[in-house]
Amino acid sequence: MPEDSSRTTLPFEPRKKRDKKAKRPAPNPPQVSAASREAASLSAIPDVVSRRMIRRMALFCGVPSGLGILSFFIFYWVVSHDWFDVPPYAVFIATLGLFGSGVVGLSYGILSTSWDEDRVGGWFGWQEFTLNARRVFEALREARRTARAAKENPDPS
């Protein structure tokens, strides 16, 4: 898939090509310069985006997980009042489904967040999810391609 030239890179998105430096033991502890601090801050997730991610993860993971915990109490209430007999496998399947959807919701909460600082995105975040999932898979493909190329053409130095 060709890269869209009109798309700007995000502050924390990795660069496409990295030059590997030869590893040498450092005789002294490395000094942290202003340039390296600035580069580190550019590679970090901005606070606005991380707060958005946390809110979405709390919603899409917290609600199903909370319902999973609540389901234990509901099943106990139903069985203790002899309304009807609930088989243990029904409790297992219901709570497994709710906790499983909580795990899926955790990933969806991250990927459905707009990673652009200036754009909030939609409530459900489907457009952001498709865009961010495509970015993740492109990055994985590029990393696999780079690793394969490094294995085929080892650097003699």
pLDDT tens sequence across 13-48: 666 655 555 566 555 655 666 666 666 555 678 888
Specify the pTM: 0.62
Residue 60 in 3-state DSSP? helix
Tally of CB atoms within 10 A around 83? 9
- The answer to whether residue 141 scores a pLDDT higher than 60 is yes
Residue predicted with more confidence, 87 or 2? 87
The CA distances from residue 1 to 10, 73, 81, 130, 150, in Å, are 19, 50, 60, 15, 22
Which pLDDT tens digit goes with each residue over 53-101?
899 999 999 999 999 999 989 999 999 888 888 898 999 999 999 999 9
What's the pLDDT score for residue 107? 92
